[in-house]
Amino acid sequence: MNAYSILLSNECPQGVAYAPLKEIVNIERGTRVVRNQLSETDGYPVFQNSLTPMGYHTDSNYPGNTTFIIAAGAAGEIGYSEVDFWAADDCYCLVCGDGINSRFLYHVLLNQKPSILQKVRKASIPRLGRNVVENIRVPIPPLSVQMEVTRILDTFNALTDTLEEELTLRKKQFEYCSSALFETILQDSDRYQISELCVLEKGKTPIQKAVPGPYPMVVTTSERKSSDEYQFDSSSVCIPLVSSRGHGVASLNHVYYQEGKFALGNILCALTPKDSSQLNAKYLYYYFEQTKDYTLVPLMKGGANVALRMDDIEKVRIPLPPIETQENIVSTLDIIDELCNSDKSGVCAEIEARKQQRDYYRHKLLSFDNHH
């Protein structure tokens, strides 16, 4: 940072000029494309209303190293493509001239993203008006400063990318270990119906109407909400009764484990072991998390609203090894899960710390004195 400060004082002794985006780049709307023109894997990525490609096109309409802004759907998200791509009509592409570096502009817009998102029109499909984009004021330091800012921030990004690759590998390791453990017990253990082993109870708390309080409330995301009342005081597996994707598609992203006093959203049910010396609740959680795609998802029924019935869950047969074996499985998977998914330790915590560090320096690096 000292070298950067010296560079800044030498190159911008009077501060940095700011200008509306429309004065320094060409703002171009992408070209409409329909899904039947696209493939799932081959060609150039196509960006429409999110930063996830909607598919791949045989042609591109913008070169790599271009910054763009999503105009509808995930309106206000800032994108940057290193490779040639197709921008559809819900993208504003920012075509830079000689005085502005596209990657620098990307970092500038990320720094201003909170204020950009505040100007998104909230509707059934959120939209960002062209006039908002045109009037975003951005700093225009000399190219030498732009390149140094980009170098520093991209170094932080590279550190984060490396950690995220490590996290992906660890999650694959977790999935492999989990699969191997359960493949063994599937072969060697007797099976019992859930109704023989667990008490099933539907959640009673309307998720949107819950009064916040001291008790965790299990909902259909990994993050817990809270409630002023509790329904359970147990170790239980919580299973969503509705599809994670909706729209006629049977899908469960996750099942959830909770212990102690907790509330449960009314679109989930809790499976609580009748005898903890016979069935370890955490073992049951890991079993269903590993096998849900072929033990639970096929039981989901319905047209537009795909749902899972508790009567059907009760009939699912699970392998039940000795309690000592269950506890060994839980201990093994807990260790790997802690390394992969804990918010307070391991790779997840390091990724979060790096992102906070990057965001801090991005704000600091891009807070230029305004040249009048």
How is residue 89 written in tokens? 């009509």
Q: What is the per-residue pLDDT for 346?
A: 65
Phi, psi angle pair for 322, to nearest 5°: -55, 150
CB contact set of 305 (below 8 Å; sequence gap of 6+): 242, 243, 246
Q: What is the per-residue pLDDT for 59?
A: 93
CA angle in degrees (0–180, nearest 5) for 204-210-212: 130
pLDDT tops 90 at residue 119: yes
The mean per-residue pLDDT over the stretch 116-140 comes to 92
List pLDDT tens digits, range 280-314. 999 999 999 989 999 999 999 887 678 999 999 99
The mean per-residue pLDDT over the stretch 269-277 comes to 96
Amino acid, single-letter form, for residue 124: S
Long-range pairs of 77-81 with CB within 8 A, sequence gap ≥ 24:
77/50, 77/51, 77/113, 78/106, 78/109, 78/110, 78/113, 78/116, 79/47, 79/51, 80/106, 81/45, 81/47
Amino acid, single-letter form, for residue 50: S
β-sheet bridge partners, residue 198: 273
pLDDT tops 70 at residue 246: no
Distance of CA 360 to the CA centre of its chain: 21
Contact criterion met (CB below 8 Å) for 210 and 343: no
Q: What is the per-residue pLDDT for 71?
A: 95
How is residue 243 written in tokens? 């599809």
Q: What is the per-residue pLDDT for 371?
A: 64
Residue labelled with tokens 């009673």: 204
Task: Classify 204 as helix, strand or coil.
Answer: coil
CA angle in degrees (0–180, nearest 5) for 330-335-340: 120
Distance of CA 97 to the CA centre of its chain: 34
Task: State the alpha helices, DSSP H only, in the chain.
Answer: 2-11, 102-111, 113-118, 130-134, 143-188, 194-197, 281-295, 310-314, 323-341, 346-365
Q: What is the per-residue pLDDT for 177?
A: 73
Ranking 110-124, 174-188, 233-247, 353-367 by mean pLDDT, the lowest is: 174-188
List pLDDT tens digits, range 77-115. 999 999 999 999 999 999 998 889 999 999 999 999 999
CA distance 342 to 87: 37
pLDDT tops 90 at residue 10: no
Contact criterion met (CB below 8 Å) for 219 and 262: no
CA distance 167 to 175: 12
Phi, psi angle pair for 207, to nearest 5°: -60, -45
